[in-house]
């Protein structure tokens, strides 16, 4: 979008081409002077007439959409009764007609996952919008009266007029949280439109508006256990039914855990066809859930596909860096990429269980937060003294009981919102030890200090009255939107697979938020009311077995087949010449991990991700997939395997 020179159609084409994986079925473009909209479509609904851009009756409103509007049939019926005429059967067309009636507030009527751009030709106004929880990404940049936007940074950066200077505050956030939170991006010139926000651009300037916020005060507190359980089942079935609308084959991810099993159980009840399910296998028992997934599949009689692959971590690492577009430290992105690749061979749409933990307090750390709250009577000075004594004791810092005790003591000496990350990648003092003086000084000059404000602002801005729900709210606004949903969106879109999440339906989330905190976290029992609601559908031993994560044996890899990878990337002259991180501190992290005195695998992985991102997105003239050549390439870890 520009207030001056016309849009270059070739540039718009390049911006689309670099994200063709997100929608390989068709490419569409709208160019009108200084305005250009481009779209790569993944055809899901209305395969014959649903290509974008989509227009209203007289062509004065045009829209491009990434995502799905699940309640499009209900919206269409209502719009047709008010006199609107439709030219397609696609869900996208409901947006232009809603905009005609409601303007910017059209987003409040949508039930779905979406990022869209709508151009109002008569008012010369652009509307960008992102769904309520952040399922679909949306980046933008503004400079000299022009506005660029796209689903991924690499699309915007096709225009060399957009600077690629690194945002050091975002780097500081990344090394604390493992991801770059909105509205920041790793590039100073780019920003993310936060979830549940619109951006309106006109005459070279813009404003943003938040249109939805999850509230924890909407419950009446008088519902019985039976009524709460019935509400959960009813809303889950409704959310699932809407997400089964598709003109292409669909299935579901099935890990065998509570959340994915709940979604598949709902699918079986709402689908007229046998449900297809997919899981991925590991050869490391602590990371493998295929037995559980197989059991749930047999119980629910699904058509189950299981993939056991031998993943070459060094082969997938450049793909990981290129696809994510920003530094991203969650190593479970590796199995996510493989699961998406396998699933896409069979279906175009998959449902998953994302959101169950954030809705119903499923992480064990919520119980840990409550333990700390109950011990708040211990003076801060005593907690700090105990933490210092533990540091001087020589016990391993990041292993076993010493790690848990250290976390508890440090948490007692911090503000409640700081406790969320007392087990983060690098705490404040640890980042200071890692940074060179020049980098530390540059970050300290930032008056906003985003690494300190992201979690604090989310915590203080919540309307939750209990500490448990306040922590849930913070996770929805930060960890869910910035890490989990980014991981899934990028991993699946890399293979042109759409993923839908019934547990993240905004009405389901509003219902869950209205339930009493004690029904979610009951002592040390997590997800209590959710599990109880599912007992008519699933046996107790499935609902009550311990939670397993979805990760990789990174620590053992960095002491085994990949033991030389951290050194060869992080202590390479190309890395050290940047002058960002102290070489002696990086060497210490590597050595202590190899010696087994500390588990620094995730820290080292984060630093590797950052360096390879620099080589891919900052060093070259235009973004280019990184190359990786290290001496460990012939010895691959066996975190995945093929029979």
Arithmetic mean of pLDDT, 234-241? 98
DSSP per-residue string spanning 262-319? HHHHHHHHH-SSPPEEEEEEBSSGGG--HHHHHHHHHHHT-EEEEEE----HHHHHHH
Average pLDDT over residues 122-141: 97
Write the pLDDT tens digit of every residue in 62-76: 999 999 999 999 999
What pLDDT sits at residue 168?
95
Residue 637: predicted pLDDT:
39
The pLDDT value recorded for residue 78 is: 97
Q: Mean pLDDT lowest for which of 239-248, 376-385, 475-484?
A: 376-385
Residue 548 has pLDDT above 90, yes or no: no
At residue 369, does pLDDT exceed 90? no
Per-residue confidence (pLDDT) for residue 402, from 0 to 100: 66
Question: CB-based contacts of 632: which residues, under 8 Å, 6+ apart?
Answer: 314, 561, 562, 563, 564, 565, 568
Among 209, 227, 211, smallest CA distance to 219 is for: 227
Taking alpha carbons only, the member of 354, 381, 409, 426 closest to residue 174 is 426
- Cβ 339 vs Cβ 487: under 8 Å: no
Q: What is the pLDDT of residue 638?
A: 38
Tally the residues of the chain.
643
Q: Which range is least confidently modeled, 375-389, 391-405, 613-627?
A: 391-405
Contact by Cβ (8 Å): 43, 18:
no
Model pTM score: 0.93
383 vs 524, more confident: 524
In the predicted structure, residue 306 carries a pLDDT above the cut 70 = yes
pLDDT in tens, 428-456: 889 999 999 999 999 988 877 788 889 99
pLDDT of residue 633: 41
> Pairing between strand 205-210 and 197-202?
antiparallel
Q: Please report which confidence band the pLDDT of residue 561 belongs to, taking 50, 70 and 90 as the band edges.
A: confident
Q: Residue 642 pLDDT more than 50?
A: no
Residue 635 pLDDT: 41
Q: What is the pLDDT of residue 640?
A: 34
Whether residue 490 contacts residue 339, with contact meaning beta carbons closer than 8 Å, is answered with: no
How far is it, in rounded angstroms, from Cα 33 to Cα 345?
A: 41
Structure confidence at residue 629 as a pLDDT band (50, 70, 90): low
Cα 175 from Cα 599, distance rounded (Å): 16
Q: Are 277 and 252 in contact (CB under 8 A)?
A: yes
Q: How high is the pLDDT of residue 553? A: 82
Is residue 540 scored above 70 in pLDDT?
Answer: yes
**Using CB atoms within 10 A of its CB, is residue 21 exposed (0-12), middle (13-18) or buried (19+)?**
middle
Confirm if 275 and 267 have CB atoms less than 8 A apart.
yes
- Whether 254 shows a pLDDT value over 90: the answer reads yes
Q: Is 116 exposed, middle or buried (0-12, 13-18, 19+ CB in 10 A)?
A: buried
| pLDDT > 80? residue 308 | no
Domain topology for 225-306+328-361+470-544: Rossmann fold (3.40.50)
Say what the pLDDT of residue 120 is. 97
Kindly state the average pLDDT of the residues 169-176. Answer: 95
- Is pLDDT above 90 for 289? no
On the 0-12 / 13-18 / 19+ scale of CB atoms within 10 A, 523 is exposed
The pLDDT of residue 641: 31
Q: Which CATH number fits the domain 9-166+177-210, given the four candidates 3.60.20.10, 3.20.10.10, 3.40.50.300, 3.40.50.150?
A: 3.60.20.10
The domain limits of the chain are: 9-166+177-210, 225-306+328-361+470-544, 368-465
Minimum mean pLDDT range among 348-352, 367-371, 406-410, 491-495: 406-410
Average pLDDT over residues 564-571: 95
The pLDDT assigned to 370 comes to: 84
Q: What is the mean pLDDT of the chain?
A: 90
pLDDT of residue 3: 58
Interacting residues of 337 by C-beta distance below 8 A, sequence separation 6+ = 316, 319, 320, 323, 491, 494, 495
Q: Is the pLDDT of residue 461 over 80?
A: yes
């Amino acid at each position: 979008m520009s207030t001056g020179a016309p849009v270059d159609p070739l540039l718009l084409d390049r911006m689309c081409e670099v994200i063709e994986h997100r929608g390989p079925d068709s490419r569409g473009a709208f160019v009108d002077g200084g305005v250009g909209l481009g779209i790569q479509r993944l055809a899901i609904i209305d395969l014959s007439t649903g290509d974008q851009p989509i227009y209203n009756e007289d062509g004065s409103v045009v829209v491009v959409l990434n995502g799905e509007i699940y309640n499009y049939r209900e919206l269409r019926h209502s719009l047709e009764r008010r006199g609107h005429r439709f030219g397609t059967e696609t869900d996208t067309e409901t947006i232009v007609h809603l905009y005609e009636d409601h303007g910017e507030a059209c987003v409040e009527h949508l039930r779905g996952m979406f990022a869209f751009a709508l151009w109002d030709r008569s008012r010369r106004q652009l509307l960008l919008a992102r769904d309520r929880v952040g399922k679909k990404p949306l980046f933008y940049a503004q400079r000299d009266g022009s506005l660029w936007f796209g689903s991924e940074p690499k699309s915007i950066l096709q225009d060399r007029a957009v600077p690629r200077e690194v945002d050091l505050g975002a780097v500081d956030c990344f090394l604390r949280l493992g991801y770059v939170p909105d509205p920041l991006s790793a590039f100073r010139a780019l920003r993310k439109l936060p979830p549940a926000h619109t951006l309106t651009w006109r005459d070279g300037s813009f404003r943003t508006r938040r249109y939805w916020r999850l509230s924890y005060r909407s419950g009446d507190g008088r519902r019985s256990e039976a009524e709460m359980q019935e509400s959960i089942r009813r809303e889950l079935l409704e959310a699932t039914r809407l997400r089964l609308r598709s003109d292409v084959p669909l299935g579901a991810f099935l890990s065998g855990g509570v959340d994915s099993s709940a979604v598949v159980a709902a699918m079986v009840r709402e689908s007229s066809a046998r449900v297809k399910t997919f899981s991925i296998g590991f050869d490391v028992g602590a990371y493998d859930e295929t037995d559980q997934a197989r059991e749930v599949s047999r119980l629910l009689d699904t058509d189950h596909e299981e993939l056991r692959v031998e993943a070459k971590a060094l082969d997938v690492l450049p793909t990981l860096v290129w696809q994510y577009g920003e530094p991203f430290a969650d190593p479970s992105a590796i199995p996510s990429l493989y699961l998406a690749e396998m699933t896409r061979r069979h279906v175009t749409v998959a449902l998953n269980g994302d959101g169950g933990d954030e809705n119903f307090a499923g992480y064990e750390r919520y119980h840990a937060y409550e333990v700390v709250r109950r011990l708040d009577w211990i003076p801060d000075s005593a907690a700090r003294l105990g933490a210092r004594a533990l540091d001087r004791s020589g016990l391993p810092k990041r292993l076993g009981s010493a790690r848990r005790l250290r976390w508890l003591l440090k948490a007692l000496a911090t503000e409640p919102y700081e406790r969320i990350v007392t087990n983060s990648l690098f705490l404040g003092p640890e980042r200071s030890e890692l940074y060179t003086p020049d980098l530390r000084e540059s970050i300290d000059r930032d008056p906003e200090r985003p690494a300190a404000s992201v979690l604090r602002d989310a915590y203080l801005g919540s309307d939750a009255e209990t500490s448990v729900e306040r922590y849930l709210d913070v996770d929805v606004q930060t960890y869910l939107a910035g890490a989990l949903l980014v991981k899934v969106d990028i991993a699946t879109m890399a293979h042109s697979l759409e993923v839908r999440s019934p547990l993240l339906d905004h009405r389901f989330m509003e219902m869950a938020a209205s339930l009493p905190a004690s029904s979610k976290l009951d002592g040390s029992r997590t997800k209590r009311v959710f599990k109880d609601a599912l007992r008519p559908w699933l046996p107790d031993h499935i609902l009550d077995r311990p939670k397993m994560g979805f990760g990789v044996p990174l620590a053992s890899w960095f002491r085994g087949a990949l033991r030389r990878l951290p050194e060869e990337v992080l202590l390479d002259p190309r890395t050290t010449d940047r002058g960002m991180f102290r070489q002696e501190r990086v060497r210490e992290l590597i050595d202590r991990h190899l010696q087994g005195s500390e588990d620094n695998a995730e820290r080292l992985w984060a630093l590797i991700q950052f360096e390879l991102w620099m080589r891919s997105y900052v060093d070259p003239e235009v973004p280019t997939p990184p190359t990786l050549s290290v001496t460990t390439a012939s010895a691959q870890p066996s975190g995945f395997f093929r029979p």
